[in-house]
A = this chain, B = another copy of it.
Amino acid sequence: MPEQESISFTEARCPVPLSHNEKIVMGHGSGGKMSHDLIRRLFYRCFNNPILSVGDDAGVLDLENGGKLAFCTDSHTVLPLFFPGGDIGKLAVCGTVNDLAMVGAIPKALTTAFILEEGLDMTVLADVVASMQSAAEEAAVQIVAGDTKVVEKGKTDGMFISTSGIGVIPPGRNISGRNAQPGDIIILTGTMGDHGIAVLSARGQLGFESEVKSDVAPLAKMIEDVLRASSQVHVLRDPTRGGVATTLNEIAQQSNVGMVLQEGKLPIRPSVQAACEMLGFDALYLANEGKAIIIVGKEDAERVLEALSLSPYGKEAVIIGEVVKNPVRRVLMKTAYKSTRIVDMLAGEILPRIC
């Protein structure tokens, strides 16, 4: 960085004590413990407001007419831009659509801001844009505003895309990571880790051939069908960066509950399992881009599974565990050998630039 940056002209001061020795590291973008630490220490305290501090995938605003609006954003820095099953454009649109769906909103409109690298092939941009439009059409949203910046060669890897979205939450819905209750059932809508392994494969980092495709998909329609089938859905969350393990820990903290997972029930493709074993990864921590965790009152679990079975993105949905009382908000796993282990949040960073 240029040395000017150490000269701050900013008069506003953040109420958070920080030392110059503390640096941003890749782990701050992992979605795991370090990301949460940064969010809690800096963003929640500086941007201090009750909407942000809920900690769900989108901020929920009360409209003057009594309705509710969801509003969310994500930047995308995935490398490479194209990978089996998707690309940065599809990822950007699906990620935003899914964040809206995860607070029970029906997505209405997106914006997109491109940071392009000087020298990028115009056809690469056109392919990404076409892919965004295709995903937007599937999700029944329009891209209503945008922005384009260009930075010097080397200052991105082709492009970064930031997308934001708004959606309308129908009256009476109250979906939040705060709402899990002891006795609730935890459903995962499909296999774990497909996206993470597909991106690694596209980078040539697997060291062997793999046919794993990213699961990147817009889930809004499937989620809407689930919410129409059951009024007992308490929590929705897509296990992206940090994977299923980190997402469940987030919910446990937000809701002040514990969880018990059944190891034998966790869905994983054999090819993903094989890649994980060779590379020493735990699929519980790998990113998914077309999956949801659904926490539902016990009596409606079957009803939700039935609704999911009608969607191409929910056919492999299974119950993976349940919510329990636990004052220290632990996520526990019953292993195949009947022992119990603690499933913690992701520490550090295992796969940078995955989304």
Contact = CB atoms under 8 A, between A and B. Distances in A.
Contacts of A15: 130
A285 interface: no
Q: DSSP majority for the A interface? A: mixed
A281 interface: no
B142 A85 contact: no
Interface stretch (A158-166, A228-236, A263-271, A305-313): A158-166
A298 interface: no
Copies of this chain present in the complex amount to 2
A69 interface: yes
Nearest to A150: B29
A75 B18 contact: no
Contact of A29 (B87, B116, B203): B116
A118 interface: yes
A257 B114 CA distance: 31
A241 to B, nearest CB: 9
A24 B75 contact: no
A274 interface: no
Give the 7 A-B CB pairs with smallest separation, nearest first.
Answer: A59-B144, A29-B150, A162-B162, A164-B164, A12-B134, A73-B111, A14-B130
Given A25-B119, A75-B149, A76-B149, 10 more contacts: A6-B121, A10-B130, A18-B122, A63-B63, A77-B115, A77-B149, A111-B164, A113-B164, A151-B352, A155-B156
